[in-house]
Amino acid sequence: MDNFERALMRVNRAALIALLGAMAVIIFANVVLRYTTSASIEWAEEVSRYMMVWLTFLGAGPVLRYGGHIAIDNLQDGVPRPVALALRGLVALLLAAFFAFIAWYGVLYVERAQYQMTPTTQISMSWVYAAMPVGGLLLLVHWLLIVRGYIRDRGFAADAHFDANASASL
């Protein structure tokens, strides 16, 4: 399972780096062209916007693994451990259901938008909306890989990573 998890993170990170790098190059080239030649790349804003959508959905899983999403967790701090475990279990189930909902509803969006075309590039909007089911499934997979540690210890990968770096530097 560790090999799968490492491979998933490697591929996920590579996709995020490629998307962000391509966005930066496209936007930079468009700005340079606009100011040096008074002309811009017609499709640059549209493509970078859609890349940002993909970046958001693909990046949500790794951010979840490291506890980077906004959370209100004061309640579990003020209750006994068994109640806190039950609360985290409930949160885990609700999050898993929400991620499955995103994936399912994303598939419906992809089906509905298959004949709608983007204004400039004239590609199917289903390619843009495909970020929803892909991101939802990735969120669910990332969540299932860390949920036991979250429920049991309220731990995220960032906690272990931070502790390993802190002990190595001592």
Residue-wise pLDDT tens digits, 24-49: 999 999 999 999 999 999 999 999 99
pLDDT at 153: 84
Confidence of residue 168 (pLDDT cuts 50, 70, 90): very low
Query: Any idea which residue has 């693994």 for tokens?
Result: 65
Residue 72 and residue 146 in contact, taking contact as beta carbons nearer than 8 Å: no
Confidence of residue 96 (pLDDT cuts 50, 70, 90): very high
Q: Is 165 exposed, middle or buried (0-12, 13-18, 19+ CB in 10 A)?
A: exposed
pTM of the model: 0.85
Q: State yes or no: pLDDT of 167 exceeds 50.
A: no
